[in-house]
């Protein structure tokens, strides 16, 4: 059984790593990733996150 998760992140390195780790875990079903424009620039963070997900 998998656990559905939605990741909300702001593009910091630790949060980008959490995206990578969560997508590699068989017991986690990543439903989506949201970007909070807090400690990052929105567009570069979106591009980087998309690369990590594909």
Q: What is the mean pLDDT of the chain?
A: 91
Give the whole-angstrom CA distance, residue 1 versus residue 18: 20
- Predicted model pTM: 0.79
pLDDT score recorded for residue 6: 97
Predicted confidence band of residue 39 (pLDDT cuts 50, 70, 90): confident
pLDDT score recorded for residue 40: 78
Domain spans, the chain: 3-53
Q: What is the pLDDT of residues 9-24, one digit of tens each?
A: 988 889 999 999 999 9
Collect contacts of 16-20 with beta carbons under 8 A, ≥24 apart: 16/48, 16/49, 16/52, 19/49, 19/52, 19/53, 20/52
pLDDT score recorded for residue 42: 82
pLDDT score recorded for residue 37: 79
Across-strand partners of 7? 33
Give the whole-angstrom CA distance, residue 1 versus residue 15: 24
């Amino acid at each position: 059984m998998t656990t559905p998760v939605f990741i909300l992140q702001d593009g910091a390195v630790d949060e980008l790593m959490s995206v990578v780790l969560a997508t590699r875990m068989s017991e986690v079903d990543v439903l989506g990733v949201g970007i909070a424009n807090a400690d990052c620039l929105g567009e570069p963070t979106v591009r980087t996150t998309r690369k990590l997900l594909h």
